[in-house]
Amino acid sequence: MPRSSTKKRKPTPILSHDGKCIGVVKDGVFIKKARSSEHMLQVPPAWACDVVSMRAAVKAGATVMRIEDTDTGAAYWASINHLRRFSFVIERGSGKQVAMPLEHWMKRTKGAPEQLTVAWMDESTDTGSERLLEEGRV
């Protein structure tokens, strides 16, 4: 029986600015697990990722980010381009981070059928973080 010429790639670990493994890139998806009770921004309500990790994920081939909330079982999805467009830069004691308000994430609640849907929003509300990331200023 002939073997398939396509090889499955191992997930690529993604490290934070302080060297901790915070997720993996698998099949073009940056998967990060986090507890909303500890890691979700409260004001404004948003998910964030440090800039070092985001750059490493993109370099590893990520085109989509998925945050799995271990408190609720919900999963949040967004394309990297969408994240760049609607995120803002913060620095609150954990290094520079890119944060995107919850309203810009696609959300799948625990038990709902899984579909990979990438959020497409109005591009006119660009907050400028994409330009800052491109210029290497964050």
* pLDDT tens digits, one per residue of 80-119: 999 989 999 999 887 899 999 999 999 988 766 555 444 4
Identify whether 2 is part of a domain: no
Whole-structure pTM value: 0.75
Identify whether 91 is part of a domain: yes
Domain interval for residue 63: 13-126
Identify whether 109 is part of a domain: yes
CA distance 33 to 65: 11
Residue with tokens 């993109």: 58
| Number of domains into which the chain is organized | 1
Identify whether 1 is part of a domain: no
Identify whether 51 is part of a domain: yes
Identify whether 23 is part of a domain: yes
pLDDT at 131: 47
Neighbour-count burial of 38, counting CB atoms closer than 10 A to its CB (0-12 exposed, 13-18 middle, 19+ buried): exposed
